[in-house]
Structures are given as C-alpha cells and as structure tokens.
Chain A
Amino acid sequence: MTEPSEPLDRLEPLDQPQPAVGEPSAPPAEPAVAGATAPGRAAATAGEAPADAVLVPLEAIAPAIRQASLSRRAFLGFGLALAGGVAGAAVLGQLFPVFASAGDQVSPLVPNYDPATKAWTFVVDTSKCIGCGLCVVACKEENHVPESAAFTRTWVERHVTMTDGTVYVDSPDAGINGFPPTSTAPGAGGKTVKSAYFQPRLCMQCADSPCTSVCPVSATYTTQDGIVLVDARRCIGCGYCVVACPYGARYITPAGEDTPAGTPGVADKCTWCYQRISKGQQPACVEICPVGARRFGNANDPNDDIRTAALAAGARPLHPEYGTQPRALYLGPALQES
C-alpha cells in the first residue's frame, strides 16, 4: 500500500508535466499580476522564480492595491447581485402569502377580542385527575391531531412510586384509552406500589420559550396574551423547536388527512385551543374533564376562578429550574416530585 505501483489512471494534467522531486518546479506561465510585484521582483517572478516562492513584500502590495478598479468593480458587482437577490426575494415574499410581512394577522384573532387584557393561565390539579383519557380524545377531535399516540398535543402520564423509592412513569397510547391496573413501565412489574398519581401534560406556554427563540424563520411566535403559536405557512420543519422544548410538547406533523392545519411536515403543539379561548370558550380538554382537574382562566380578572381558587392554592410550574417561566401551573403530588 505504501509502495506506489502502476497508477490506476494517468490523468493528463492540462498544465506542464510534473517535475520530479529535487527538480525546480516549472515557472508560471505569467506573473501573478503585473502590478502586484515590486519592480525588482517582477523579473524573478516572470522568469526563473518558481511560483511557490512568490512571497510579496509589503512595498509590493501598494501597486496591487492601486489596481483597485478591478476589486472595486468586482465588489460592486457582488454587492449589486446580492441586493438584487434580496430585492427578488422581497418581491416573491409579496407574491406568495407564505412570506407575508410580520404585520399580517397570522394569529387566529376574532373580532372584539382584545388580547392585551388577557393573561391566560392553565392550572392542572394532579390530585384530582383520574386518568380517564377523555382530555386526550377531546383534544385530538377538536384540533385534528393525528390518531397515532406518537403525535399528541396533550397526554396523561401515570407516576408510580414503589416502596423501594423508585418512580416509574408510563403513558400507554398517551393515556387516550385510560390505564391498566399496573404500570406498563419496564421494570415496574412485581414491585409493591407505595403511591401513584396521574399527571396530565400539555404545552406550558412558556413566557421565555426556547421553541420561540430557536426558530430560524420566526414561524413560532408568542401572541400578546401569552400563547405560543406556530405559523404553519412559515414553518420549514427543521425540528429545532422539537429538540429544544424541555417539556417535550412538540412534534412534526405526519402526512395524512387529519394533519393539523392541513399541512404535513410542520411543527405542531398544544395552543390551549386558541381558536376557542379567543371566542370566550374553554379549551376542549378543560371542558370535557369530568373531575375538574384542568382549570383555565384569565389571571388578569380578579374575579376569575383561576385567580381566586387555583392560584391562591399555591399552583406552581413543573421544573422551574428549566428557567422557561411556564404559564401552565400544577397542584398536587406532581409538585413534590418535580
């Protein structure tokens, strides 16, 4: 391998034949740039000097720079080409709504809805949830979420603590069909259960949301009332927001008739049913919950139940150490574990 044998292919170089080692290499056909070498060096460069030694001294730079018309023209050419490209893209942006200007109403706002007066807050009481899975069903129907459990906007987990202190989490089919009597988590079988609770999960609508800040095309944005939404017309499907969400609330939509917004391959997530709450309704999961484990309201309203009851009870976010300032808060045993 180290001993060169007959070459596989003798490619004919277009320039001079190759010199053997030890022989001076062939001179260049012409000097680099006539004005780029100092007068004293020009002859050497054009004549006997091999090319790999064309080290140009400081004083030789000056005449080269004086050939500024070349570089300036090239510079202007590139500048014009770049400007033309940007202008062309701007025209395309106007022609195609996909790249509508940021001033467009990209959120599904409804007439007479004033987002500035709202501070939407979601509170989940894990001491009340019974794991029936109705919230998952209601969400999938309301928001056309794919039926597969792998693509879910809201789901229910079961956290089981054994007598030896280990905690097992399972969520068979995202909890849409409820839960079997024993945990399906690997390794949980045969152990004695000490305590257990159900933990409904959804987008936390973080005030400092990583998914918003990492989006390279600003397809993910935060509305004035604090809801994080995805503009499916802008999303490129890179998945950055999916890996950046510490709460695992996002997925890329698969192809299919039930794809949210009718667009496959874009990021999707829980919106707290923005199409409903902006019309004065409750999110679908809140409305269907038979035990009142999910509560939703406007924290700006001093008479709202969310403020008088849920927040007053000490609701707090899960994993505040992530530093994303979630607007979804929790009550009950989930807080102790978090």
Chain B
Amino acid sequence: MQVVDSTLHVGRLALPASPRAIRAALAREVSAMPLATRVWYALLLAGLAIGAVTAILALPPGWEVMGTSPSIEWGMLIVGYVFFAIMTSGLCLASSLGTVFGIERFLPLEKRHAILAILSLSTAFGVIALELQYPVRMVFGAVLVISPSSPMWWMGVFYGGYLVVLIVEVWTLFTNHPVIHKYACTGAAMIGIAAPTTLGAVFGMVAAKPLWAGVFTPILMVASAFVGGVSLLGIVFWAVSRFRLADWGRSGVALGSVRLLLAGGLLVVAALLARQVADGLTSDVAGFRPSTLAMVAGPLAPAFWGLRVAAGLVAPLAILALPRLRTVGFTGLASGLALLGIFVDRSLFVVAGEFVPRTTMAGTVAYPYVAYTPSLVEIGILVGAASFMAMAYSLCERYLPMGEGDVHLFWPWPWLRHHEHGEEADAGGGAPEAPAAAESGLAPAAAAEAVP
C-alpha cells in the first residue's frame, strides 16, 4: 500500500487519495456513463437524500414523526424490516440448492445472491434501527441480558449471526477459500430457515393479535421469505441479461431456475394464504374474524384482492404457466409482481393484525377500525432503504467481479457421487449455457434472447 501522486495503491487497486483526485475520478466516472445510467444513479441519490432527511427526523427517541399510536404500534417500518429481512433468507434458501446441495442448475445464483443477501440484511438492520427508540441499547442489551423467552431476542441472535456468516461467505467467495466457503454457505442456508422462523414467531406468539398468532405464521414467513428472495433474484438476473452485465451469458440458466423456484414458492404461499383466510373467517377466537374480514371485505380489501392476490399471486403464476411467456422479460415481470405481492402481503399482515383492536388501547377506543396512515417520514425511510440497497448493489455490479466464481466444494451428497461417476464427461467438460438454458425450461426464444 503506497500513495503516489494523490493515488492510493492497494494491490491492483488505484484509489484517489485527495479531495481533488476524488473529484476528478468522480467526474471521469460520470462522464463515462451513458445518459440512462446517470439518470438511474440520480434517481437513487434522490431516494437516498429523502431517506437521509427522514432518518434524521426519526432518530430522536419519542419524536412523534411516525403515524403509529398505542393502538397500532407496529407500522410500515416494521413492515420494511420484515420485508428486507425475509428477503435475505429467501436469497440464501434459493442459492443453497446450488451452493450447499450442488444442484448444477442453481449454481449461477451464488455470487449475486450473497451480495444481495448482505445488502438486504444491512438494509433491514438500518430500518429497524430507525424504528427502535434506542437501537444501541438493543445491540448491547441483547448480548448482556439473555432473554430466551422472547422470540425477538432469538430473532436478534439469528439475524446477528446471519450477518457474520454472510460476511464470511462473501469474503471467501471473493478471496477463494472454498473450505470456509462451504461451511459459510451451509451455515447461511441453515440460518436462512431459522431466522425467518423466529421472525415469524415474533408475530406468532402474540396471542393478543389473533391474526398473527399461531403455528402457521412462522411457516408463512419462511415461504414468503423464499418467494421474496427468489423474485429479487429474478429481477436482478433480468437486469443482468437486459443490460449485459458481468457473466450475463448464464442469466438464462439462472432465470430458468428462478422460474421453477418462483412457481413452487408462489403455489405454497397461495395455499398458506388461503388457509389463513379460511381459518380466520371460520374462527370463533375473539377478534380473528373481524381482522380477517377487514382484510378480505373491509377497508383493506382493495389492496388484498388487487395487489396481493391478483397482481402478486395470480398474474405471476399465469406468466410462469404460459409457455409463450417463458422469456427473460416476462420472467423479470413475474418476479417484480411477486416481489410487490410479498411487500403488500407483509404490509397487510402487520396492519390487519392491529386493525381491529380487541380492547381499548391505553385509553383510546378505536371502533370499528384503528386509524393509521403511514407518515411521510415512514414512507421516506422505506424509499431511502430501497434506494440504499439498489445503489449499493449497482455499485457492486459496476466495480466488483460479479461473474460467478464456480469455486465450490460440496458435502458428499449421494447424488453428487452418482453424478460424478455416471456423468463424468459432462461434469468435467462443463455444460455450456445453451443446453442448460433449454433444460431450465426456457423456451428457445428465451434462450436465443439471452444471446444477442
């Protein structure tokens, strides 16, 4: 590491080391960008600015800048935290099929998933830090005061450990440490199930909110996590293919895998959602039926049927089912719709759970529904969070070697041994992308589309 002419040399990297050099480097970068890229970054910077201003407003404890009240204490920031946190787990669950279980068609999901997972979890932590009144106490308090009866404490344990494991996973991915990487991938996959399960338990153990309570809540959370992560991968690999980003030739394989996983995940989520609604409508637990009715036939019904069911479930499933729509673009569209559906789903879940209070809350009688409108600060923080993640990922795509590493060690799964001995020629020769794309279910048109 040395500094020569205002330039810091670290290995092969040459970084500007003075304000003037930084300005010059930035100017060079911006002038080298096409107009559309500049517009993209400008939009993200605007989103980040909105997020920064609203975050500053939300920092002092007790400031009444949120739309929440004792009657609806958990609002859109909790939704945002849940959304980004479960997306992390979904990314790991999807990629584990390749990185842990060695299934070839899922291998191209690895490097981008790992970057996205870290960014998603960091974003989730940022959002929850702004939701909490005293986040620093949370960090130290959770370590010093063990509270095993609290699902939230366990959630902190798992997601805290998750971040460590993901950092190790990304580090080993970029620095070529396959042995540690194997353990990190396996750890991430296991925590990928445990973490959203405990997040589901945070809601599932609240008997005071019948819509949240129950053993199916953690299961629904894991399923939602899976769909969220897979659909984000679908959007990213659509962009990789559309804009010819690093290693784009393999995005056909990745999108084929996304189609398969997304279809399965959406079907499971649809079944769990139907179960939840049927259970709620037939339940005699006080408050359960009114909460469910508020969601499916009350003030929340337009969002439920329009965004959650039609746009978030039916439309992507239809796109995935129709052979004519098996193209890169439509796979990206289905992924985007599914991700929208997951966000709306988590929003409805959190809000509808508190929407019909069973009791007077701290002296306030809310009848028949609690009044809750997300404040501009809450919306601004979510805009900032999404912008942060998109900006950080865009920078990763631009400056990191995002081509898949293909450096893997696997556990001695029986199918890999069979594969090794039975199809050694293929394994040794490496299946090129076109057959893999065809195998992945992409129509010839889509496979051709991946090749300009």
Select B360's contact among A24, A78, A171, A214, beta carbons within 8 Å.
A171
A166 CB, min distance to chain B CBs, angstroms: 12
Contacts of B400 in A (CB 8 A): 14
Looking at the complex, which of A92-100, A112-120, A279-287, A307-315 is the stretch in contact with chain B? A92-100
Q: Answer yes or no: B31 CB below 8 A from chain A CBs.
A: no
Q: Are A21 and B409 in contact (CB under 8 A)?
A: no
A99 CB, min distance to chain B CBs, angstroms: 5
Q: Are A174 and B363 in contact (CB under 8 A)?
A: yes
Closest to B399 in A: A14
The CA-CA distance from A171 to B164 in the complex, in Å, is: 49
Which of B64, B134, B205, B407 has the most chain A CB within a 10 Å cutoff? B134
A214-254 interface code vs B (CB 8 A; 1 in, 0 out): 11111100000000000000111111101111111111111
Q: Are A55 and B102 in contact (CB under 8 A)?
A: yes
Known: A56-B409, A151-B70, A252-B73. A210 touches B208 (CB 8 A): yes
Q: Answer yes or no: A54 CB below 8 A from chain B CBs.
A: yes
Q: Are B412 and A61 in contact (CB under 8 A)?
A: yes
Q: Answer yes or no: A15 CB below 8 A from chain B CBs.
A: yes
Closest to B246 in A: A13
Q: Are B138 and A10 in contact (CB under 8 A)?
A: no
The CA-CA distance from A201 to B364 in the complex, in Å, is: 11
Q: Answer yes or no: B18 CB below 8 A from chain A CBs.
A: no
Q: Are A64 and B179 in contact (CB under 8 A)?
A: yes
Q: Answer yes or no: A186 CB below 8 A from chain B CBs.
A: yes
A39 CB, min distance to chain B CBs, angstroms: 14
Contacts of B126 in A (CB 8 A): none
Contacts of A323 in B (CB 8 A): 207
Q: Answer yes or no: B52 CB below 8 A from chain A CBs.
A: no
A252-281 interface code vs B (CB 8 A; 1 in, 0 out): 111110010001111000000000000000
Contacts of B164 in A (CB 8 A): 78
Which of A86, A90, A236 has the most chain B CB within a 10 Å cutoff? A236
Closest to B435 in A: A22
Q: Are A32 and B409 in contact (CB under 8 A)?
A: yes
Contacts of B328 in A (CB 8 A): 2, 4
Q: Answer yes or no: B183 CB below 8 A from chain A CBs.
A: yes
A-B contact count (CB 8 A): 337
Known: A36-B179, A89-B140, A243-B354. A155 touches B363 (CB 8 A): yes
Interface size class of B (residues with CB under 8 A): 35 or more
Select A218's contact among B104, B147, B155, B433, beta carbons within 8 Å.
B147
Contacts of A185 in B (CB 8 A): 365, 367
Closest to A199 in B: B360
Q: Answer yes or no: B308 CB below 8 A from chain A CBs.
A: no
Q: Are B64 and A254 in contact (CB under 8 A)?
A: yes
Q: Are A201 and B360 in contact (CB under 8 A)?
A: yes
Q: Answer yes or no: A193 CB below 8 A from chain B CBs.
A: no
Q: Are A19 and B249 in contact (CB under 8 A)?
A: yes
The CA-CA distance from A326 to B159 in the complex, in Å, is: 34
B323-352 interface code vs A (CB 8 A; 1 in, 0 out): 000011110010000000000000000000
Known: A67-B179, A213-B150, A217-B141. A52 touches B430 (CB 8 A): yes
The CA-CA distance from A119 to B252 in the complex, in Å, is: 69
Known: A217-B141, A244-B208. A51 touches B427 (CB 8 A): no
Q: Are B409 and A149 in contact (CB under 8 A)?
A: no
B445 CB, min distance to chain A CBs, angstroms: 8
Q: Answer yes or no: B27 CB below 8 A from chain A CBs.
A: no
Contacts of A1 in B (CB 8 A): 329, 333
The CA-CA distance from A86 to B160 in the complex, in Å, is: 13
Q: Answer yes or no: A164 CB below 8 A from chain B CBs.
A: no
The CA-CA distance from A60 to B56 in the complex, in Å, is: 54
- 18 extra A-B contacts, CB within 8 A, seeds A18-B403, A251-B361: A4-B244, A9-B34, A16-B403, A33-B409, A54-B407, A56-B408, A71-B183, A85-B143, A90-B144, A150-B364, A170-B365, A214-B150, A214-B205, A234-B145, A240-B152, A248-B70, A252-B70, A266-B133
Chain A residues within CB distance 8 Å of chain B: 1-4, 7-11, 13-16, 18-25, 28, 30, 32-33, 36, 41, 44, 48-58, 61, 64-65, 67, 70-71, 74, 78, 85-86, 89-90, 92-93, 98-99, 102, 136, 149-153, 155, 157, 169-171, 174-175, 185-186, 201, 210, 212-219, 234-240, 242-256, 259, 263-266, 322-323
Chain B residues within CB distance 8 Å of chain A: 33-34, 36-37, 40, 60-64, 68-71, 73-74, 102, 104, 107-108, 131-135, 137-138, 140-145, 147, 149-153, 155-156, 164, 168, 176-180, 183, 202, 205-209, 241-250, 252, 327-330, 333, 354, 357-365, 367-368, 397-398, 400-410, 412, 416-417, 419-421, 426-434, 437, 447, 449-452
Q: List 13 contacting pairs A-B, 8 Å CB cutoff, sorted by A.
A: A8-B40, A24-B430, A25-B430, A52-B107, A52-B431, A53-B426, A54-B407, A238-B152, A243-B73, A244-B207, A248-B71, A255-B60, A322-B208
